[in-house]
Amino acid sequence: MGRLSVSLCGIELDNPVIPASGTFGYGHEFAELYDINCLGSLSFKGTTLHERLGNPLPRIAETSAGMLNAVGLQNPGVDRVICEELPKLAACFRKPVIANVSGFSVEEYAEVCRRLDAQPQVGWLEVNVSCPNVHGGGMSFGTEPKAAAEVTRAVKAVTTKPVILKLSPNVTDIVAIARACEDAGADALSLINTLMGMRIDLKMRRPILANTTGGLSGPAVFPVALRMVWQVSQAVSIPVIGLGGIQNAEDVIEMLLAGAAAVQVGAANLVNPYACRDIVDALPGVMDRLHIHNLRDIIGGSHG
């Protein structure tokens, strides 16, 4: 084991740096720029049962410390991901990957996870419960403990690999939802997903995004993400993956101290496609400066 190595649900990672879903395509696109095997793993683009074209344009808006997106889960559907995208990824990445899954009913979550669970390169299933429940009045599965637990149980019933529940920060009590997912069998949690926000075009006097609202990501959300990781990691006994506004190696250290077992880097990839590689390269120097010998030793180190 190297000094940067960590463990996630019993699977060893060379380092804790994982590109976040929706910001790294299916991985092979970035492999044209650098050897992505330097990463701990990667979480590929959110996948649904059927193809989705996504939301109308415009669906991206800049903010002073981040960006808003309302892409709308554009993806080719799970069968094409399995047949077309995963073979391309396997040709350039030799490590287990995280399959990010979205759905609009409990049954859809379960079916997509069942199909991806059978793929050899998939090491974990990351279930995004921020999607609207179309059979439950449009409320997101991740905003209510009972609904999040129902998705967790359904997915665990049809899978053999570790299941990570990706939690929404747009809730009153994220700890209650985290505990409900753990009680329902979740193997790990990832947080946070984006915060809801909007921008208005001053000349047009209309929302910039065609969807009106979108998810805020980037450095603006880092303090919120850090606080939620700190809270949740002390409330559950399963690993937590921290994400939200991570820009550099110092942010990674801070997330681990807050209780994260690994991290995901999202919006930074859209600003600098080499961001994850650069963070991995910078970690040893930052560790030396802070007198950290092994990253495993500092996980949860701020809990007092």
pLDDT at residue 139 greater than cutoff 80: no
The answer, as to whether pTM is greater than 0.95, is yes
- Return the structure tokens found at 157: 């019933």
State the pLDDT at residue 202.
Answer: 97
- Give residue 134's pLDDT: 52
The DSSP output letter for 104 is S
Residue 100 contacts by C-beta under 8 Å, 6 or more apart in sequence? Answer: 21, 22, 43, 44, 45, 46, 47, 126, 128, 166
Q: Which domains does the chain have, with CATH numbers?
A: 6-298 (3.20.20.70)
User: Which of the residues 113, 131, 181, 276 is marked catalytic?
Assistant: 131
Is the pLDDT at 24 greater than 70? The verdict is yes
Average pLDDT of span 158-178: 97
Q: What is each CA distance from 237 to 151, 181, 188, 260, 294, in whole angstroms?
A: 20, 11, 9, 12, 21
pLDDT of residue 135: 63
258: left (phi over 0), alpha (psi -120 to 50) or beta: alpha
Q: Is the pLDDT at 300 greater than 60, yes or no?
A: yes
- In sequence order, the 6+-apart residues with CB closer than 8 A to the CB of 172 are none
Q: Amino acid identity of 185? A: G
Over the chain, what is the mean pLDDT?
96
How many C-beta neighbours within 10 Å does residue 65 have? 12
Residue type, 244: G
Q: What does the pLDDT look like over 193-214, one tens digit per residue?
A: 999 999 999 999 999 999 999 9
Mean pLDDT (whole number) for 141-150: 93
Phi/psi zone of residue 186: left (φ > 0), alpha (ψ -120 to 50 degrees), beta? Answer: beta
In the prediction, which pLDDT does 304 show? 83
264 pairs with which residues across the strands? 18, 243
Burial 275-301 (b: 16+ CB within 10 A, else e): bbbebbeebeebbeeeebeebeebbbe
| 92 noted as active-site residue | no
Tokens of residue 48, six digits = 């649904």
